[in-house]
Amino acid sequence: MNRPLRRLALVGFLLAALPLATSARTPQAAPAPAAATGGYRLPPAPLQALVDAPRPPQLSISPHRDLLALIQSPALPGIDVVAQPELKLAGLRINPRTYAQSKFSFGTDLWLQDVASGKELRLQGLPAPLSIATTSWSPDQRYLAFNQVDAKSGRNELWVVDVAARSARRLTGMPLNTVAGRGYRWLSDSQRLLVQLRPEGQGDAPAGGGIPTGPNAQETKAGGGVKATPTYQDLLHNEDDARLLEHYLRAQAALVDLDGKVTKLGEPALTLSLAPSPDSRYVLRERVERPFSYTVPVENFPRRIEVLDLDGKPVKEIARQPLVDGLPTGNDAVRTGVRDIDWRGDAPATLVWAEAQDGGDPARQAEVRDLVKMQAAPFAQEPVVLAKLASRYAGAYWGNGELALVEEFWWKTRKVKEWRVAPDHPELAPKLLREGSSEDRYKDPGLPATAIDERGEQRLLVAADGHGIFRLGKGASPEGDRPFVDKVDLDSGKSERLFHSQAPYYEAPQVLLDAEGRRALTSRESPTETPNFYVRELASAAAPRALTHFPHPTPQLKDVKKEQIRYKRKDGVELTATLYLPPHYDPKQDGPRPMLMWAYPTEFKSADAAGQVTDSPYRFNRISYWGPQAFLAMGYTVLDDFSVPIVGEGSKEPNDTYVPQLVASAEAAVDEVVRRGVAERGRIAVGGHSYGAFMTANLLAHTRLFQAGIARSGAYNRSLTPFGFQSEERNYWQAQDVYNTMSPFNYADHIKDALLLIHGEQDNNSGTFPIQSERLYAAVKGLGGTARLVLLPNEAHAYRARESIMQMLAESNDWLERYLKQPAH
């Protein structure tokens, strides 16, 4: 389903800061690494405290914006949970016990809170143990539905909370199927839900015979043109896999009312998504069909897009799409035909979608790249054109028949445009509201504010005068991010600033609490104050009213020093980074400490944009087990998110000069921390995850700036990702020298410093197959270098089990202490 490029969601907030040890210390000698059969290891106590600390709850706001729902986030699951059966089929990861998408963290407590009084409202009748996957408010906010998923029992159930009675009950005993899509959606009457059920009488999953019936053959023919085929993971391998996919994807569409009555809609289908129309008279269904593919995931399979009535009878087939086994080269390439289809949020039953006019090929010249079309019920008339776009449709914000905002985006140039259209008068020419670069954070006007209407649809929040909207933005500036709220007159284009975050706080508006833009729910924090939610009167200078009171998660480390620093690369590009110093550490008195630097390279088309300041000096000093800040607890200094811009202005491609720009960025960062006296050459390590791991290996291959590197879940041989990677649009055969030069595997003989490689054995990220780490380790080992390879069982691209996280920290801590503890020479 289509969504705007950067749509502001209802508030969902998870604090990742976790408690640490009571004091920092100078790194001590590392214990010897465990033997290969020694089982999982624990890091030192200060790092264990990070992993096991409780977390603050997640929060969502009700449609009327006067109630909050809070869900307690649990501690990390154990490896016994992460290692439960999991199917990997056509890009999906499925829990076969629950007929749900694989998930290992569920809400373990749920309560409500009144915005006006701040009073906490506890609920009765919740299932035990509580295991919430998702929640959804009814449009009238009288009810809160939630999906209860219990992997041990295999239950996947729909429950509902009666808000007034403050009680919960199971809505139906028929199990949900949430393998694809959310699994349930409220209808506009707040009395029924559209659900995906497990078909009755479906039986057990088909069992493979185990004995092959023949080879698995694939064939291609000349004349099909060049197609980009990414290195997808978790694909189908044979007909047994295909039958399993059909079994687990097959869902029965149904309506469930508040009395638990179930009304089936038609026959079961291989359903990707179900969406009721705003007036609840129709259902938009997308389902896949045979033939399946062994080279692309399920979203590329043949699919049928159709409208059903509430009896489940077909009303209109919108499109029947063929298998997409590859796209033209380029990040702006899209499939042909109907794309990004969704209901128009301000109309009873009108579909909106995009259709490429250039064959989906960005290399083909075309004045109009995308048409945005609409078709209203009863879907008998031909679709009408709402907008003709010179780049790709990136979503819409719906206000009313006279007002909607349509966004378009072109990756190649990073250009974004925003148009004002009148959906009820498509014959009127659109008005251009904004044209700029997605990279230019300083000129970003913010996201349009939205609110839930009486039908449960996200709609533009239009000012009482009918001419204005509100925008909520990050407020990027040379002084750092300063979030704001603006009221914008769409006729004149003039803006009135209603709120601007002020030092010494970072206060970010989350949602406006009224249609006049007088009050907002904000999240406020400072370097030493935990983010909490507040009600702010925007026209008042008075302090906001605290709504939540989450305690400081690491009071023993509240004196961590944080500074946003700026410095220049030798080519003049402005760079930024966030410098963290342990508590009670004074560089002038104590001298330089061993340092861990961490980053993730980013491509830019503009050097000016690359040099813009990111983040804010007033953000909370969040310390988690995942990032480099964890090692503040062990006495290290940390340089986080040091800028690594890879710039290719005009017709130049950024990656044509990837290595020299990477090296120059690292040199500038090292020079700056040495100049400040917080680190010394010869006692600095560098690390990163995913593309940051790729960066780490390249820095060890092309410099001697670092004594050690920590590379987690990276890709190191770009010939194994031949149809593009990260932001690289060209394929291997178009830019062979670039691919080869950027691959640290090709320079493994140059890696003279210690490299720690960590990888999940079941990595699901495109391109970062575990073999990438295995082959680089083998190369370094065979060439006489220093490396260690740690493969984490049952782990994906992001590690999930408590034991895996503990192992990751133990390995990283050992590596840092072994190679950084000695004074520099």
What is the C-alpha separation between 369 and 580, in angstroms, rounded? 46
Residue 179 has pLDDT above 90, yes or no: yes
Which residue range is the domain that position 762 belongs to?
555-820
Q: Is residue 353 part of a domain?
A: no
What local confidence, expressed as pLDDT, does residue 144 receive?
Answer: 98
165 Cβ neighbours under 8 A, 6+ residues apart: none
**Residue 764 forms part of a structural domain:** yes
Lookup: tokens for 141: 């906010």
pLDDT digits (tens, 9 = 90+) for 630-653: 999 999 999 999 999 999 998 899
Predicted local confidence at residue 29, as pLDDT: 38
Structure token digits, residue 559: 């004196």
Q: Is 584 one of the catalytic residues?
A: no
The pLDDT assigned to 56 comes to 87
Overall average pLDDT of the 446-464 stretch: 96
3-state secondary structure of 566: strand
Distance, in Å, from the CA atom of 698 to the CA atom of 743, rounded to the nearest integer, reads 7
Q: What is the pLDDT at residue 538?
A: 95
Specify if 228 maps to a domain: no
Q: How far apart are CA 609 and CA 648, in angstroms?
A: 12
Structure tokens at 312: 């489940």
Helix (H) or strand (E) holding 409: strand 403-410
Q: Is the dihedral of CA 231, 232, 236, 242 positive or negative?
A: negative
Instruction: Write phi, then psi, for 781 (nearest 5 degrees).
Output: -60, -50
Angle of helix 802-820 relative to helix 45-52, nearest 10 degrees, comes to 150
* pLDDT at residue number 456: 96
Express each pLDDT in 778-810 by its tens digit: 999 999 999 999 999 999 999 999 999 999 999
Q: Tell whether 723 is covered by a domain.
A: yes
417 within some domain: no
pLDDT of residue 489: 95
Q: How far is CA 759 from CA 88, 254, 596, in A?
A: 18, 42, 20
Residue 232: exposure state from Cβ atoms within 10 A (0-12, 13-18, ≥19):
middle
Q: Is the pLDDT of residue 209 over 90?
A: no
- Give the residue, 7 or 198, on which the prediction is more confident: 198
Give Cα 352 distance to the centre of its chain: 25
What is the per-residue pLDDT across 157-167, written as a single tens digit (0 to 9) for each? 999 999 999 99
CB atoms within 10 A of CB 477: 13
Q: Is 330 helix (H, G, I), strand (E, B) or coil?
A: coil
Q: How far is CA 773 from CA 185, 408, 693, 778, 782, in A?
A: 42, 38, 10, 9, 14
List of residues 6+ apart from 128 with CB closer than 8 A: none
* Domains held by the chain: number: 1
Which residue, chain included where needed, has tokens 């990414």? 230
In a domain, 825, yes or no: no
- Mean pLDDT over 500-515 rounds to 95
Catalytic status, residue 763: yes
pLDDT tens, position by position, 69-118: 999 988 899 999 999 999 999 999 999 999 999 988 899 999 999 999 99
Mean pLDDT of 127-155: 95
Which sign, positive or negative, has the C-alpha torsion 289, 292, 295, 297?
positive
What is residue 655's predicted lDDT score, i.e. its pLDDT?
A: 96
d(CA 776, CA 701): 12
Tokens 């600390």 identify what position?
53
At CB < 8 A and 24+ separation, what contacts does 151-158 make? 151/81, 151/84, 151/95, 151/97, 151/98, 154/97, 154/98, 155/98, 156/98, 156/99, 156/100, 156/183, 156/198, 157/127, 158/183, 158/184, 158/193, 158/195, 158/256
Q: Is the pLDDT of residue 5 over 60?
A: no
The domain spanning residue 679 has which CATH number?
3.40.50.1820
pLDDT per position as a tens digit, 40-73: 999 999 999 989 877 889 999 999 999 999 999 8
Give the model's confidence band at 1: pLDDT under 50 very low, under 70 low, under 90 confident, else very high: very low
Write down the pLDDT at residue 823: 60
Instruction: Name the nearest CA neighbour of 511 among 438, 570, 556, 452.
Output: 452
Report d(CA 758, CA 792) in Å as an integer: 7
Distance separating alpha carbons of residues 622 and 568, to the nearest angstrom: 26
Q: What is the largest CA-CA distance in the chain?
A: 79
- Domain-located, residue 648: yes
DSSP secondary structure string, 634-662? GT-EEEES---EEE--TT--GGGGHHHHH
Q: For 247-262, what is the mean pLDDT?
A: 97
The answer to whether 655 and 569 have CB atoms below 8 angstroms apart is: no
Q: What average pLDDT does the segment 711-727 reach? A: 96
pLDDT for 678 equals: 98
Residue 824: pLDDT band with limits 50, 70, 90: low
The answer to whether 66 and 116 are in contact (CB under 8 A) is: yes
For the cut 70, the answer to whether the pLDDT of residue 27 exceeds it is no
**406 alpha-carbon distance from chain centroid:** 23
Greater pLDDT, 772 or 466? 772
Residue 259, pLDDT > 50, answer yes
Computed over every residue of the chain, the mean pLDDT equals 92
Q: What is the pLDDT of residue 14?
A: 30
pLDDT at 17 over 60: no
Residue 576: φ, ψ to 5°: -135, 160
pLDDT at 26 over 70: no
With a cut of 50, say whether residue 168 has pLDDT above it.
yes
Share above pLDDT 90 across residues of the chain, in percent, rounded to a whole number: 86
The confidence band for 24, taking pLDDT boundaries of 50, 70 and 90, is: very low
User: Distances from the Cα of 483 to the Cαs of 386, 463, 476, 497, in angstroms?
Assistant: 33, 20, 8, 11
Distance CA(31)–CA(806), nearest Å, equals 15
797 is catalytic: yes
pLDDT for 16 beyond 90: no
pLDDT of residue 213: 77
Q: Is the pLDDT of residue 467 over 90?
A: no
Residues 6 or more apart whose CB falls under 8 angstroms from that of 203 comprise none
Can you read off the two tokens belonging to residue 394?
């990136």
Catalytic residue among 293, 763, 766, 804: 763
Asked if 450 contacts 507 with a C-beta cutoff of 8 angstroms, the reply is no
Q: Which residues pair with 159 in a beta bridge?
A: 146, 170
Residues whose CB is less than 8 angstroms from the CB of residue 586 and which lie 6 or more positions away in sequence, other chains included: none
- Closest listed residue to residue 713, CA positions, set 695, 692, 689: 689
Let me know if residue 173 belongs to a domain.
no
Q: 3-class DSSP state for residue 17?
A: coil
Q: Cis omega (within 30 of 0) on the bond before 592?
A: no
> At residue 19, what is the residue type?
P
Give me the pLDDT at residue 12, please: 34
Indicate which residue of 523, 616, 690, 804 is catalytic: 690
Total-model pTM: 0.92
CB atoms within 10 A of CB 361: 20
Cβ-based burial of 186 (10 A; exposed 0-12, middle 13-18, buried ≥19): buried
